[in-house]
Amino acid sequence: MTKSVKSFIIKNDMNMAQKISLLVIMFFIKINLIFLPLVMAKVTGVCSNCHTMHNSQDGQPIVKFGGWDPSNGQQTGSISDEPQEYLLISNCIGCHTNAVDDKTIITIGPSGGESYIPIVYNASVEPNYPEEPTASGSSNALAGGNFYWIEHDGDEYGHNVISRADSLLTEAPGRNQGCTDSCHYSLYQWRFPWPNSEGQGCPSCHTPAHHKGGSSTAVADEEDGWYRFLGKKHSQGPDRPILKGLEDPDWQQTVSPADHNEYWDTWDYGPGNAGISKFCAACHGNFHSTRYGPWAGNGGFKGGPGGGWHTAPWFRHPAGIFLPDFGESSKYNTDGSGDEGVPGSYNPVAPVSRQDVDSYSAPSEVVTVGSSGDMVSCISCHRAHASPYPDMLRWNYDTCQASTANSDCGCFICHTRKDE
C-alpha cells in the first residue's frame, strides 16, 4: 500500500470514525436532553457519592455535616466519628446544603457516576429569588424557597429547621392538635416520640425514599415515595390518600407557566383530604379555611341563604377551596377587565393546585374555575421552606396597596380588581 493510499484510507477512516463519534455524541446529547430530567428526579451515581460502609477511609472517619463545596464535590465541615443512618456520608441538612456559592443544583461524583443534589440551603451566598412567572438560572431558588433567608434574615422568614428554634413562636400558629414536645411545636427541637431529635427538622415533614422514583405514571405516588417524599407523616391512616403531584424534574430551577410542579388539593374534607393545604394544616390546623376551626358549625361554613361554598364573608383566608366561577378570582391571572369565569394561564408566582391531578400527564398552563376547578392553597401564597419575605410569603406583601397596580403583588393575581 502506498503511503498516499494509506493516508487516504486513514483519513477516510478517521472521517468515518469522526462521523460515528459525532453521531454517538449527538445521540447521547439527545438522550440526555430527553432523559436528564427524569434521571434528576431520583438518585443516580456511584454508591460512594452518598454512602460509606464503615465511616472509615484510610483509618479516618469521613462523615461531615458542613454542606458541599461544588468546586471539588466534597463535603465541608469537621469530620464526625458518628456514623449516620443508612450508612450515609452526611445528614439531611449537610447533603442538601451548598456551603460555598449560590448554585441550587450541584453535581458531585466521578464523571459517568454523577449525582445531582437539589440544594435547599445556600449557607454563604444568597440564591436568586424568582419574582417573575418565568425564570431560570443555576442560582434560582427551588420551589420550596431556600433556608438562606431564615438563617441570614431572621426567624420570621421561614421554618426554623436548621440552626435554632424560633425566638417568638413556641408552637405552629393555628395549631389545634399535636402532642407536647412534637413537631407541632418546634421543627428544630422536638422529642416525640424520640428522646433527642435536635436537628431533625427535615423528617418532621419528609419521609425520604431516595431510591424510589418510578416512571410508570407522571403523578408521583407511592412507587415514587409520594410527592417530594411528603407522604406518610400527614396521612390520616392506612389506605387513605397521601399527598401526590407532578414533580418538576429540576425542582423549578427553571420555571414558567407550562413548566412547574403540580400540587394535588381537594375540598373533600374529612379523612379523604390529604392535599397540599391539609398537609400544612397537619400542624397549622385552624388555618385550613374555616372548616377545621373549633368554632366550626354547619361543616365549618357560614350558614344562611346559599350557605356553603363561597358564602362570603370568610373568617380566615380560604385554602383548599376552588376558585369560584364568578367574581374577580374567576379571572385568575388576567387584568380583571374580561368576562367572569374566564381565567388566564397558570402563574407560578401564585400557583393554583389541582383537584384532578391524577388526570395530568404533564404540567399544564391551563387553569379552570368552578366546583371541579383549580384551587387556592397554602402554597399559593407561601413557600414551604423559607423566602426573602416575612412569613415565608412568595412576594413582598408590604408593597401590596389597594387601588394601586403592582405586578409584584401576588394577591392581585387572584383579586384581579383590587388594584384598580
Contact between 102 and 122 (Cβ < 8 Å): yes
The residue assigned the cell 424510589 is: 212
C-beta of 47: minimal distance to ligand HEC in Å? 3
The whole-angstrom separation of Cα 155 and Cα 289 is 25
DSSP symbol at 265: -
Query: Site for ligand HEC (CB under 6 A): which residue of 62, 63, 93, 274?
Result: 93
DSSP symbol at 264: B
Question: Which one of the spans 20-28, 123-131, 179-187, 293-301 is the region binding ligand HEC (CB under 6 A)?
Answer: 179-187
Strand, helix or coil at 178? coil
Question: 208 Cβ partners below 8 Å, 6+ apart?
Answer: 92, 225, 229
Which element (helix H / strand E) includes 118? strand 115-118
16 by Cβ neighbours in 10 Å (0-12 / 13-18 / 19+) ranks as exposed
Query: Site for ligand HEC (CB under 6 A): which residue of 197, 389, 415, 416?
Result: 415
Query: Site for ligand HEC (CB under 6 A): which residue of 45, 66, 231, 373?
Result: 45
Closer to ligand HEC by Cβ: residue 21 or 244: 244
Query: Site for ligand HEC (CB under 6 A): which residue of 255, 283, 357, 367?
Result: 283
Query: If binding is defined by CB under 6 A, does position 42 make contact with ligand HEC?
Result: yes
Query: If binding is defined by CB under 6 A, does position 8 make contact with ligand HEC?
Result: no
Nearest to 162 by CA among 131, 211, 119: 119
Query: Site for ligand HEC (CB under 6 A): which residue of 219, 274, 367, 411?
Result: 411
Contact between 362 and 354 (Cβ < 8 Å): no
Overall residue count recorded for the chain in this entry: 420
C-alpha cell at 413: 393575581
Question: 48 Cβ partners below 8 Å, 6+ apart?
Answer: none
Closer to ligand HEC by Cβ: residue 100 or 411: 411
Query: Site for ligand HEC (CB under 6 A): which residue of 17, 20, 47, 53?
Result: 47
**Number of residues engaging ligand HEC in binding (CB under 6 A):** 95
End-to-end CA distance of the chain: 86
Closer to ligand HEC by Cβ: residue 25 or 364: 364
Query: If binding is defined by CB under 6 A, does position 117 make contact with ligand HEC?
Result: yes
Query: If binding is defined by CB under 6 A, does position 99 make contact with ligand HEC?
Result: no
C-beta of 31: minimal distance to ligand HEC in Å? 19
The whole-angstrom separation of Cα 306 and Cα 317 is 19
Query: Site for ligand HEC (CB under 6 A): which residue of 62, 63, 89, 99?
Result: 89
Question: Which one of the spans 6-14, 20-28, 110-118, 123-131 is the region binding ligand HEC (CB under 6 A)?
Answer: 110-118
Query: Site for ligand HEC (CB under 6 A): which residue of 380, 388, 389, 419?
Result: 380
Query: If binding is defined by CB under 6 A, does position 183 make contact with ligand HEC?
Result: yes
C-alpha cell at 123: 449557607
C-beta of 239: minimal distance to ligand HEC in Å? 21
- Window 223-262: contact mask with ligand HEC (x via CB under 6 A): -----xxx----------------x---x---------x-
Query: If binding is defined by CB under 6 A, does position 347 make contact with ligand HEC?
Result: no
Closer to ligand HEC by Cβ: residue 101 or 419: 419
C-beta of 29: minimal distance to ligand HEC in Å? 22
Determine the residue type at 134: T
C-beta of 16: minimal distance to ligand HEC in Å? 37
Closer to ligand HEC by Cβ: residue 101 or 115: 115
Closer to ligand HEC by Cβ: residue 101 or 324: 324
Query: Site for ligand HEC (CB under 6 A): which residue of 62, 95, 106, 255?
Result: 95
3-state SS of the chain: helix, strand, coil percent to 5? 25, 10, 65
Cα-trace Rg, the chain: 25
Residue 219 φ/ψ, nearest 5 degrees: -80, 130
Query: If binding is defined by CB under 6 A, does position 79 make contact with ligand HEC?
Result: no
Which element (helix H / strand E) includes 30? helix 3-40
